[in-house]
Each structure stands twice: as structure tokens, then as C-alpha cells.
Amino acid sequence: MRWAVIQFPGSNCDQDVFHVLKNVLKQEVDYIWHKDSSLKDADAVVLPGGFSYGDYLRCGAIARFSPIMPAVKEAAAQGKTVLGICNGFQILCEAGLLPGVLVRNTSLHFRCETIPVRVEHPASRFTREYMTGQVLQLPIAHGEGHYVADEATLDSLFVHKQVLFTYSDNLGRTTPEANPNGSQRHIAGITNRAGNVLGLMPHPERASEKILGSDDGLGLFTSILASQGVSLAQAA
């Protein structure tokens, strides 16, 4: 499987994603500079975390107009896998590939820690290696992760099983204390209606090797591989 990792000015998780895909999962990966206009026939696109364009104006607002974005939108329209992590999630929302928007954490604090995240639906290309209600330990590192959308959109997201990840406590309970940023309905990660575009605030690429504390995030990448018929044995 061929992956494209987009590099915006200010991206800082691009190398982490590249490392996991290349060295842990033995995938073909290309860095794609934001000024390029082609994804080089990639089967999947990752918009990594960071602070693209210094988060000026709003997070992701300027990256949305990068020359590579039409190609990302086209890939999404073709049903290819598009994964936005942290700032990547913010960019996907600003670009209109996902509904809603991410605003300043209610606490106003930048939260950088490993927290429990609950898997809502395993019947997606991003979560098929997980179980319903499984609680993952995933790192977060953001100041603007508070997901906001109108009530109708929120209802629709749950009805159509687009909410894949929510913030919970270690027992899987979505309590206010377990919500690190005030996100509406504890939303941590959502897909588009078609289910091929995922945006999430936690960093699965930072939890993909046991030696780094947790490999709970690796399942997200192996789920994508499995959904494309790539087994880990093949990949390795």
C-alpha cells in the first residue's frame, strides 16, 4: 500500500507518521510537500499534526488553501483513505471534508498527556482491529481540540456512526472530567459520511511501539491496511 504524508510549513508529526508507516509497518511512503499538486498515486493520505502556518487566523484555515489540497479533496472523493491527525483534523474541518470545527480548549490550557480514548464503532476502515467500547491509551497534544458543530450535525454524526472515538475515563465512561478540551459530546475523532475520511485529535502514531509506552494506536493503521486487503505478514 502506498501512502502520502503531506508536509505543511509547521507540520511537526510528519516524521513520526512516516517512521511508523515505513519502519514499523513496512509500507511505501512518500513525503508530499504542500506546494506539490500530485499525491503520486498514493492509496492513502495522511495530514499530520503540527502547527501549519503557525495556526494563524484559525488552526488549519490557511493550510486549507495549499496547492496540494485539491488533490487531497479529489482522493477523498474517489473513496481513498484520508487520515487527519490533530492539526490534520483541523485542516480537514476547515477544508470542508469533515463537518464542524475545532476551537480553543475550554480550559485554555495546552493539554499534552496520554489519556483514555474509547472506540465507538469497530465497523469502519479505521477501527476494524479494535472492539466496541475498547479503551485505548493515546497521547494528545493540543490547545485547540474542542470539537464544535450545531446540534443537528452532532445528532447526524452519531446516527450515521461517524463518531469513531470519544474521550472517556479508563473504564470507558464519558464523564466531564475525562473530557480534556470541552469537546461537544466528548468527540475525539469523526469520519465523513462515506467513512473514508477520518480526523482525530489523539496521536495514534505516537503510540505505535511498545518501547514508546503504548502501541494502542497501531491498530488504527493496521485497520486501514486490513480494509485494503493488506495483511501485516504481507506488509512485513
Partner 1 sequence: MIRAQVIVRPRASIFDPQGDAVCRAIQHLGVSTVKQAHVGKCIELELDGNDLKKARTQLETICKDLLSNPVIEDYVLTFNGAEPAKAKTAAKPVVKKATKKVVTKAKSAKKPIKKVSAKPVKKTQKPVRRAAIKKKKR
Told to judge if 113 belongs to the known catalytic residues of this protein, a careful annotator would answer: no
Considering beta carbons, is residue 64 or 125 the nearer one to partner 1?
64
x-or-dash string of contact with partner 1, 86-105, rule CB under 8 A: --------x-----xx-xxx
34 belongs to the catalytic site: no
170-189 residues near partner 1, rule: CB under 8 A: 182
Where in 99-158 is the site for partner 1 (CB under 8 A)? 100-101, 103-108, 148-150
* Distance in angstroms (rounded) separating the CA atoms of residues 159 and 40: 35
Task: Please enumerate in sequence order all residues whose Cβ is within 8 A of that of 70, keeping only pairs 6 or more positions apart, or say none.
Answer: 37
Cα angle 42-46-50, degrees, rounded to a multiple of 5:
145
Q: Which amino acid is at 131?
A: M
Q: What minimum distance in Å lies between the beta carbon of 61 and partner 1?
A: 6
Size of the site for partner 1 (CB under 8 A): 18
The Cα angle at residue 185 between residues 181 and 190, in degrees rounded to 5: 85
Active site residue 93: no
Sign of the C-alpha dihedral computed for residues 210, 23, 138 and 198 taken in this order:
negative
Q: Which residues bind partner 1 (CB under 8 A)?
A: 57-58, 61-62, 65, 94, 100-101, 103-108, 148-150, 182
Q: Indicate which residues carry an active-site annotation.
A: 86, 203, 205
